[in-house]
């Protein structure tokens, strides 16, 4: 099972085994990571699961689609390269070692 590291805005770190097929959002939300609000439950209709992907992971993840790009317009402090909606990152074995940071505020 891939292990993903979630870093809360406070700096608190969680190393969580997330089942393949789940989303990065589900892994964090189910483990109680502070700041992954996920108001829409993962339907890509809000931006409250916004995370920053570690720079070394940006090129390894699937590209953002148009819907994710549109929803990121509502997120706070978007980083053009690193911001992702964690509900749009479906976990595969290749995600083992992924590191994401939760912003200090969600929209």
Cα separations in angstroms, 38 against 31, 50, 96, 104: 13, 9, 22, 15
pLDDT of residue 107: 79
Q: Is 101 helix (H, G, I), strand (E, B) or coil?
A: strand
d(CA 26, CA 28): 5
pTM: 0.96
Predicted confidence pLDDT, tens digits, the chain (107 residues): 999 999 999 999 999 999 999 999 999 999 999 999 999 999 999 999 999 999 999 999 999 999 999 999 999 999 999 999 999 999 999 999 999 999 999 97
Give all domains of the chain, ordered by start, each with its CATH number.
3-64+77-101 (3.10.20.30)
């Amino acid at each position: 099972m891939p292990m993903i590291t979630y870093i809360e805005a406070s700096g608190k770190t969680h190393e969580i085994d997330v089942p393949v097929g789940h989303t990065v959002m589900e892994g964090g939300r189910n483990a109680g990571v502070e700041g992954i609000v996920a108001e829409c439950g993962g339907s890509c209709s809000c931006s409250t699961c916004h995370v920053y992907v570690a720079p070394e992971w940006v090129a390894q993840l699937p590209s953002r689609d148009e819907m994710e790009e549109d929803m990121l317009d509502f997120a706070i402090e978007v980083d053009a390269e690193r911001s992702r909606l964690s509900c749009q990152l479906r976990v595969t074995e290749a995600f083992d070692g992924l590191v994401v940071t939760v912003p200090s505020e969600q929209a």
